[in-house]
């Protein structure tokens, strides 16, 4: 019942140390040191190896080391093997920090001041109350809800959009494709925290930008292919979208010379909004191993038909 880790080897070494301490009975290996492939029962990966059904014939569970699973080619994972995404406190904390700093950067005009500083201009912009700023989150999952709970504390007017109806205290909830336009039309700062699926690919497009209030801003922390980058550039150039903070792009890395790198009203970070923290992730994975052995549903087990 060996556990195989296939992702960044430095973090893999941290996982190995934590497994040795907390679950010494579970043999732990780091890719490509697979040992006997027939002994691998559990795989934690950013991307599984090609054709896992053949290369790891006794695989029982596939864990994503990220919150999303869109990077997986699920066609190679047999239907009877559950796929589990990462839900762990470290990812949530990281995302709450990132989105909060991005919202406050926009709310307190730090783009404007960075530009003024370059020109040595000392000029105050009017300070707006948080209550007058409408923040909206696409995706009311583990991360979207945690982000909204923190932003509410600042007094922002908060809303969110999901596939199925939700009720969240202090958050105006919209559900389903028919409610998207109304949600977008009331949103000054739009945050994308959706999973990437066929239904959400390209959702941040010219049509959506045209529905935003003029001068709205975008925080993109979902997946690169949610955004039609050319449409964003057009919307920025017309002023329809004022600022964009992008943590994910398509492709990644963003190619040298891409116009988003040098756009004065865009900030780009290299997909670091949130990362799995070994200390907290290993506890969740070990709890899931216990659940799996007890025949229980695991925390974060995805619905393959839904794609997330």
Q: Which residues carry out catalysis?
A: 223, 271
Counting residues that bind ligand NDP (by CB under 6 A) gives 31
Counting residues that bind ligand OXD (by CB under 6 A) gives 6
191 contacts ligand NDP (rule: CB under 6 A):
no
Q: Which residue is nearest to ligand NDP (CB)?
A: 141
Distance in Å, CB of 194 to ligand NDP, minimum: 5
Binders of ligand NDP among residues 112 to 141 (CB under 6 A) are 139-141
Q: Which residue is nearest to ligand OXD (CB)?
A: 66
CB crowding 234-251: b at 16 or more within 10 Å, else e: ebbeeebbbbbbbbbbee
- The answer to whether the peptide bond before residue 246 is cis (omega within 30 degrees of 0) is no
Which of 2, 64, 105, 162: binder of ligand NDP (CB under 6 A)?
162
The residue (of 28 and 136) whose beta carbon lies closer to ligand NDP is 136
Distance in Å, CB of 125 to ligand NDP, minimum: 29
The residue (of 19 and 161) whose beta carbon lies closer to ligand NDP is 161
Which of 189, 248, 254, 284: binder of ligand NDP (CB under 6 A)?
248
What is the pairing mode between strands 40-45 and 61-64?
parallel
The residue (of 81 and 175) whose beta carbon lies closer to ligand NDP is 175
Which of 108, 150, 163, 207: binder of ligand NDP (CB under 6 A)?
163
- The answer to whether the peptide bond before residue 94 is cis (omega within 30 degrees of 0) is no
State the binding partner of 193 from ligand OXD, ligand NDP, none, CB within 5 to 8 A by kind. Answer: ligand NDP
Which of 43, 216, 273, 285: binder of ligand NDP (CB under 6 A)?
273
233: its two tokens:
């550039």
Binders of ligand OXD among residues 60 to 119 (CB under 6 A) are 66-68, 86, 91
**Contact residues for ligand NDP (CB under 6 A)?**
66-68, 91, 95, 139-144, 161-164, 193-197, 199-200, 221-223, 247-248, 271, 273-274, 308
**Contact residues for ligand OXD (CB under 6 A)?**
66-68, 86, 91, 275
């Amino acid at each position: 019942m060996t556990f195989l880790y296939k992702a960044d080897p430095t973090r893999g070494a941290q996982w190995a140390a934590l497994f040795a301490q907390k679950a010494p009975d579970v043999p732990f290996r780091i890719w490509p040191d697979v040992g006997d492939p027939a002994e691998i029962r559990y795989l934690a990966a950013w991307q599984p190896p090609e054709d896992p059904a053949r290369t790891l014939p006794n695989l029982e569970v596939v864990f994503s080391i990220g919150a999303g699973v869109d990077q997986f080619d699920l066609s190679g994972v047999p239907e009877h093997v559950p796929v589990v995404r990462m839900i762990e406190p470290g990812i949530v904390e990281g995302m709450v920090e990132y989105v909060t700093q991005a919202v406050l950067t926009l709310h307190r005009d730090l783009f404007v001041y960075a530009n003024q500083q370059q020109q040595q201009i000392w000029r105050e912009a009017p300070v707006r109350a948080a209550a007058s700023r409408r923040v909206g989150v696409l995706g009311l999952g583990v991360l979207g809800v945690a982000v909204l709970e923190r932003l509410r504390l600042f007094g922002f007017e908060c809303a969110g959009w999901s596939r199925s109806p939700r009720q969240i205290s202090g958050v105006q909830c919209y559900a389903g494709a028919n409610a998207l336009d109304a949600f977008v039309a009331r949103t000054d700062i739009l945050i994308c925290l959706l999973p990437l699926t066929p239904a959400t690919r390209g959702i941040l497009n010219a049509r959506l930008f045209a529905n935003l209030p003029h001068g709205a801003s975008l925080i993109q922390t979902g997946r690169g292919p949610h955004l039609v980058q050319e449409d964003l550039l057009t919307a920025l150039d017309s002023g329809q979208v004022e600022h964009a903070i992008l943590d994910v792009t398509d492709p990644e890395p963003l190619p040298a010379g891409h116009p988003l790198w040098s756009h004065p009203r865009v900030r780009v970070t290299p997909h670091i909004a949130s990362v799995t923290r070994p200390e907290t992730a290993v506890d969740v994975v070990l709890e899931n191993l216990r659940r799996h052995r007890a025949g229980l549903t695991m925390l974060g087990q995805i619905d393959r038909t839904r794609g997330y």
